[in-house]
Amino acid sequence: MPSVMTPKVSVIGAGNVGAEAARGLAARQLADVVLLDIVEGVPQGKALDMLQAGPIVGYDSLVTGSNDYKDIAGSDIVIVTAGLARKPGMSRDDLLKKNAQIISSVAQNIKQHAPNSIILTVTNPLDTMTYLAWKASGFVPEKVVGMAPLLDLARMAAFIAIELNVPLTSVSAMVLGTHGDLMVPVPSQTKVSGKPITELLPQAKIDAIVERTKNGGAEIVAHLKTGSAYYAPAAAAVRMAEAILKDKKELIPSSVLAQGQYGLNDLYIGLPAKLGKGGAEQIVEIELTKAEEAALKRSAEAIKANNQKCVK
């Protein structure tokens, strides 16, 4: 069994995203994992299944399921996936009021049982839910971070790779702003094997990829009919957790609290951030075109409107 020095990550919500994130953490041997859900038996059954995969896949991570928040005590990171998922025809914003109450309750429980952890939110609408988790937990803003821009840029990178018939890993994309219809793909900072995308594709193709990226989640929902994306969202959460646990200081676009950067204040929004043991340790300002700056401001206004509906 793992030593007592093994990091601990708790995942709140044992649905598709939460379970896949737990599996990813275990398979990469990043931490011992607690999978928590309000539904009795579900986290226990999934955790036991993951544990039994260890001898086959070759990992030693301990995975346990629970319905009790006391079991998250001592967590280095708490990944929050709890909440309702989108259904066909439902926008991320439709989820706002339903998930706000859930996230506030979860954050208060994290504050009580894992006060020294870093909160990593995945629940939608992502930026507002991260803002609410920050408010409800009372944590310093660096220790509350949201997963979304990494997922969005991965979608953009995948679409570019398909268009150019190049390896997925050769594309370095950038997406900022809200995780929603007003997200801000940044072609000016997007490259393929070091070459700017603007030199490789005509503007019309770039515009089409930008639009497909903005609707990337809805496209998957439309295919699935009864669910939403979970492999890529979970992979993004695991990647961010790894950067924090290993103190990588890796630049990963994340939903972070803007405090003057990019001319924005007092809202969580997708911006480039260095992730390390302190959480989102630094927000990095990159050069944007005038159009991208304007789009980022529109994105911020949409987030603020959502925040105001939830925080009285």
Q: What is the 3-state secondary structure (H, E, C) of the chain?
A: CCCCCCCEEEEECCCHHHHHHHHHHHHCCCCEEEEECCCCCHHHHHHHHHHHHHHHHCCCCCEEEECCHHHHCCCCEEEECCCCCCCCCCCHHHHHHHHHHHHHHHHHHHHHHCCCCEEEECCCCHHHHHHHHHHHHCCCHHHEEECCHHHHHHHHHHHHHHHHCCCHHHEECCEEECCCCCCEECHHHCEECCEEHHHCCCHHHHHHHHHHHHCHHHHHHHHHCCCCCCHHHHHHHHHHHHHHHCCCCEEEEEEEEEECHHHCEEEEEEEEEEEECCEEEEECCCCCCHHHHHHHHHHHHHHHHHHHHHCC
Taking the C-alpha atoms of residue 233 and residue 83, their distance in angstroms, rounded to an integer, is: 14
User: Of 46, 92, 179, 191, which residue is the catalytic one?
Assistant: 179
Q: Clarify whether 113 is annotated catalytic.
A: no
Minimal CA–CA distance to 180: which of 135, 129, 227? 129
In total, the chain counts a number of residues equal to 312
Omega before 125 within 30 of 0, i.e. cis: yes
Taking the C-alpha atoms of residue 165 and residue 79, their distance in angstroms, rounded to an integer, is: 34
Catalytically active residues are: 179
